[in-house]
Amino acid sequence: MMSTTETENICGLRREDFQTTIGGKQTDLYILKNANGNEVAITNYGGALVAIMVPDKDGKRANVIQGHDNIQDVINSPEPYLSTLIGRYGNRIAKGKFQLNGKKYELFVNNGPNCLHGGKTGWNAKVWDAVLMNRKELSLTYVSPYGEEGFTGEVKVHVTYTWTDEDELVINYLAETNKKTIVNLTNHGFFSLAGIANPTPTIDNLICEINADYYLPIDETSIPTGEILKVADTPFDFRSPKPVGQDIDADDEQIKNGAGYDHCYVLNKNEEGEMSFAAKIIEPNSGRTMEVYTTEPGVQLYTHNWATGYPGQHGATFGRRSAICFECQHFPDTPNHPYFPSVQLCPDRKYKQKTIYKFGIDK
């Protein structure tokens, strides 16, 4: 069930290259394989996706997610969130401050003046307990202690990756707390549908559709202003498919604030928590497609605006705008915007989320 040599898997990753001990916990590599022979490779360090091997229109498989080929490079990546699980709070919290039950909390500031993706050492940098349930399903568990990164409450989180015979990567999240706290989880997959390479092609020609009539504008530190604006007549309108690069450098204050796209979209929903279509991309040269479905109210579109051409797996390089991210989540800085959908989790409730990345070929 777990591959140990290059000859046994198509992603060319070796289990021993991902094995080390951190804080008494073992890291490892887990490979999920479906009936089509397509693969997903995951390490329990940060729950990082290190390979998704799917075919193009000619049947040629390539890795369509950015990752590294050994554990040390994962740990020391110039992009610490590269295709990892994100918690306890995905996205930004303004100035690292919020109030809960009348008490003020201060978090580690690690992104300009703000707290990003859980603080100095988020869940992307933790070793999760892993159980390979079967050849298609990996279960990951982490217990976030009380006070970790300044957050209140102990949170037990359980994430399951399932790789279906329909080439769907299904991510199920479940979290519980012993004290009222805030939780906002996501997966920060950096998708490169053309296949990673040296250099990995830019995403400019990707055809993108996002099922959202509204988005959240941001200030110059990437914190939501509190407005909820229509995408109509802006560079943020992906309601009809268009190339990602078409408006990515538009003369627009919001584009400048994000150095491209780094904004949360308010997904069109009939009811709260419903599983619904969020986005789709088509890579015109390879014919590969990816659809995103989620129960979350928002999706952060991020276009890898700060990458520098750093090295990745098997000699690939990851340059500026060589990947696209669809981070399904609640909205950024929600604790400081009371009318955003709540991120509070109480001991008598469970946090649940489901997101699907479905791969296919454009006919």
Residues 210/260, Cβ–Cβ less than 8 Å: no
Looking at the domain assignment, is residue 12 inside a domain?
no
Looking at the domain assignment, is residue 225 inside a domain?
yes
Looking at the domain assignment, is residue 317 inside a domain?
yes
Q: Coil, strand, or helix at residue 45?
A: strand
Looking at the domain assignment, is residue 246 inside a domain?
yes
Q: One digit per residue, pLDDT tens: the chain, 363 residues?
A: 443 334 479 999 999 999 999 999 999 999 999 999 999 999 999 999 999 999 999 999 999 999 999 999 999 999 999 999 999 999 999 999 999 999 999 999 999 999 999 999 999 999 999 999 999 999 999 999 999 999 999 999 999 999 999 999 999 999 999 999 999 999 999 999 999 999 999 999 999 999 999 999 999 999 999 999 999 999 999 999 999 999 999 999 999 999 999 999 999 999 999 999 999 999 999 999 999 999 999 999 999 999 999 999 999 999 999 999 999 999 999 999 999 999 999 999 999 999 999 999 998
pLDDT value at residue 187: 98
Residues 164/339, Cβ–Cβ less than 8 Å: no
pLDDT value at residue 363: 81
Looking at the domain assignment, is residue 304 inside a domain?
yes
Looking at the domain assignment, is residue 108 inside a domain?
no
Q: What CATH number does residue 324 fall under? A: 2.70.98.10
Residues 355/292, Cβ–Cβ less than 8 Å: yes
Distance CA 265, CA 326 (A): 10
Looking at the domain assignment, is residue 198 inside a domain?
yes
CA 133 → CA 3, 30, 66, 161, 209, distances in Å? Answer: 15, 11, 25, 10, 34
Instruction: Provide CB contacts within 8 A for 226, sequence distance 6+.
Output: 337
pLDDT value at residue 1: 40
Q: Coil, strand, or helix at residue 255?
A: helix
pLDDT value at residue 14: 97
Find where tokens 């098997």 sit: 314
**pTM for the whole structure:** 0.97
Q: Which residues are catalytic, by number?
A: 188, 327
What are φ and ψ of residue 262, in 5° steps? Answer: -155, 60
Residues 185/87, Cβ–Cβ less than 8 Å: yes
Looking at the domain assignment, is residue 94 inside a domain?
no
What are φ and ψ of residue 118, in 5° steps? Answer: 95, -5
pLDDT value at residue 76: 98
CA angle 305, 118, 353 (to 5 degrees): 90
Distance CA 254, CA 260 (A): 8
CA 74 → CA 27, 78, 89, 232, 279, distances in Å? Answer: 11, 9, 21, 39, 28
Into how many domains does the chain fold? 1
- H or E stretch including 257? helix 253-258
Residues 250/263, Cβ–Cβ less than 8 Å: no
Residues 298/264, Cβ–Cβ less than 8 Å: yes
* Domain limits for position 241: 193-337
pLDDT value at residue 2: 43
